[in-house]
Structure 1
Amino acid sequence: MVTLAARTVPVVGLAGALSLTILAFAPPLPGGRPLSVDSLPPIVYTAHRGGALEVPENSMSGLTAAFARGTAQILDFDTRMLRDGTLVVMHDATLDRTTYSRGPVGALDRVHWLGVRLRPVPSLPGLWLPERPPTVAEVLDRFGGRTVLMLEAKDPPSLDGLARLIRARGLTRSVLVNSNSPAVAARAHRLGLVTQLWRSARQMRTDRPELWAGHVDVLDMDHAARDTDLLRAVRSGVPRVWAHTVNTPYDRERVLRLGCDGVITNAPGLLATTPAASSGGR
């Protein structure tokens, strides 16, 4: 059974700081919150885009709520680069799906970004208000050193800038840098970052994950992949193998049974309040 409780959190909206009552999931993480990749538990839960079935994706209010709920060890968000090099939090290459604006993200500069407002999804539980999507620096400053973060470098040319932001804050062991590109993962490793490589079910059919064992810290596999492909990843020698995007207890049980040691989920509250029967097969 999912337990809900009311929680009031500060949210930065159109007119500055606002008070907003949302639904919080209980219980929090057992044993406290890991502060580095090295201190992560044997089975890891990641709030994908903050937990996109429970909070507004890639928003400061959503990440803040996910952090306060404590139902995942890692907060995940996506990154894009504006035309002036500013690094911002956004999944899509365009503004159309998640904001009131339209057009390519990369056509904006920092000044224009300040005028963008996220459009809350009506189906989300709780009350959410329009707000400016954050910059990467703002998210790192808010949560860096307080929890492990995972960011996906959607624009490969942004990797140097991301590395500078992470290094300047002393967060190289507490931020995972994710990409779908093996070449980007290899370059992130050379830059001294903790590397994560995600792969689709189709890619996994022909992948040779053992080739990445020396420079990929986390292999992030599509939960819809065949059992044989997931098992090959688990046995590849990559230190950690996680599955995305796992939103039901049934899918979680399958990937844990096959040996994955982490799940990336849009519904961390649901999974946190539904005990897992499996502890992984590795």
Structure 2
Amino acid sequence: MVAMLTRTALAGLVTLASLALAGHGGPPSPLEWGAGPLTVDALPRVVHVAHRGGAREVPENSMSGLMAAYERGTAQVLDLDTQMLRDGTVVVMHDATLDRTTHSHGRVRDLTAGDWQRVRLRPAKGLPGSWPAERPPTVAEVLDRFGGRIVLTMEAKDPRSLDALAAMIRGRGLTRSVFVNTNDPLMARRIHRLGLLSQLWRSAAQMRRDRPARWASFLDVLDVDHKAREADLERAVRSGVPRVWAHTVITPGERDRALALGCDGIVTDAPGRLAADERAAVSAVPSAVRPGATR
């Protein structure tokens, strides 16, 4: 069993490292897509997702943070959270209040689009680098900046926003380029019925009683807690849901366990850290077995 886990983890490391080393090669392309938008069909066998842009490396859910994650090329999917303002504007924010991540206070849902223009993010202490006190973006701004250039996943924190999200995604031709995430299986079913890619996240406690095979007909991603019991993770992997990603991974050890148990994606706050570890792992592999090596 140990040998199998080691081989599986090493294979995952080699695959992910080759992807990380490739990167994107520059800033986002112009608005024109050329042959068409990048879709989920272009995702590699094992995926790295930058959770809130990579919240241990950039200001979470910020445009500058998402831009940095994109340009670094250490993740193939950008993750963000959404809330809805009083006037129906859908914005990028994890919490229901402004208190933790901005210089303002109060409930997000009490604001209008005009009020949102005056909100400024407060980068978390200890983040590497220097970051501006910028306004948090709207979902429309994120879709216009990144849609079709990289796959996105957005958690709809407010169920009322689903119709607006669907309209924005459909209107931009991105129904195969954006996952919509939730913790509620019934909401995930509704996301699917709206013609969107559905993603469902579950905590370790929820996974103890979940039977995810019941959701395989309407889920595109099952987003599982990496801290869950081995049996629960294996049940998720065998569920028939086409993609199973583990959240929220920080360390190489957490990543290696999830991959060894069959997950094919990692949702991480530290995509740069994991990419650096993967580069080191590849450099330690004999050249004859590295990706692209000839014999």
TM-score class, shorter-chain normalisation, is 0.7 to 0.9
Q: Which of the residues 177, 180, 183 maps onto 1:180?
A: 183
1:9-158 equivalent positions in 2, closer than 5 A? 29-30=20-21, 35-158=38-161
Rounded to whole Å, the distance in 2 between the matches of 1:240 and 1:146 is 21
Aligned length, in residue pairs: 252
- Give 1:266's aligned residue: 269
2:243 match: 240
- Map of 2:31 onto structure 1: none
Q: 2:23 touches 2:72 (CA, 8 Å); kept in 1?
A: no
Query: How far, CA to CA, are the matches of 1:179 and 1:38 in structure 2?
Result: 22
* Structure with the bigger percentage of helix: 2
Can you list the C-alpha shifts for 1:227-270, whole angstroms capped at 9, x where unaligned? 01000000001001010000100000000000000000000001
Supply the AA of the counterpart residue of 1:57. E
TM alignment of 1:218-237, pairs within 5 A: 218-237=221-240
Q: Output the CA distance in 1 between the equivalents of 2:60 and 2:53.
A: 6
Runs of 4+ in 1 over 3 A off after TM superposition: 26-34
TM-score calculated relative to the size of structure 1: 0.87
The DSSP-based 3-state class of the residue aligned with 1:273 is helix
| Structure 2 contact 47–265 (Cα < 8 Å) conserved | yes
Equivalent residue number for residue 289 of structure 2: none
**Distance (Å, rounded) in 2 between the aligned partners of 1:236 and 1:92:** 31
CA distance in structure 2 between the partners assigned to 1:109 and 1:208 by the alignment: 40
Q: CA deviation at 1:120?
A: 1.4
CA displacement at 1:46 relative to structure 2: 0.2
Whole-angstrom distance in 1 between the partners of 2:21 and 2:184:
34
What secondary structure, in the 3-state scheme, does the structure 1 residue paired with 2:244 have? strand
Look up the match of 2:253.
250
In the alignment, structure 1 residue 189 sits paired with structure 2 residue 192: yes
TM-score of the aligned structures, taking structure 2 as reference length: 0.83
Task: Tell me if the contact between 2:22 and 2:73 (Cα under 8 Å) persists in the aligned partners.
Answer: no
Q: Is the 8 A contact 2:79 2:152 kept in 1?
A: yes
Q: 1:27·1:272 contact (CA, 8 Å) conserved in 2?
A: no
Q: Distance in 2 between matches of 1:64 and 1:190?
A: 31
Q: Is the 8 A contact 2:90 2:138 kept in 1?
A: yes
Q: CA RMSD in A?
A: 1.6
Work out whether residues 27 and 71 of structure 1, in 8 Å CA contact, stay in contact via their aligned partners in 2. Answer: no
Alignment check: 8 A CA contact 1:51 1:267 kept? yes
> Which one is further off, 248-257 or 113-122?
113-122
Q: How far did residue 35 of structure 1 move?
A: 2.0
Question: Which residue in the other structure is 1:13 paired with?
Answer: none
Deviations 1:184-221 (A, max 9, x none): 11001001101100000010000110000000000000
Identity %, equivalent residues: 68
CA shift, 1:129, in A, is 1.5
Show structure 1 runs of 5+ residues with no match.
Answer: 1-25, 278-282
Instruction: Provide the secondary structure at the position in 2 that maps to 1:184.
Output: helix
Whether contact under 8 Å (2:23, 2:74) holds in the other structure is: no
Asked if structure 2 preserves the Cα contact closer than 8 Å seen for 1:50 and 1:75, the reply is yes
Q: 8 Å contact 2:54–2:268 — kept in the other structure?
A: yes
Give the drift of 1:272: 1.0
Greater Rg over alpha carbons, structure: 2
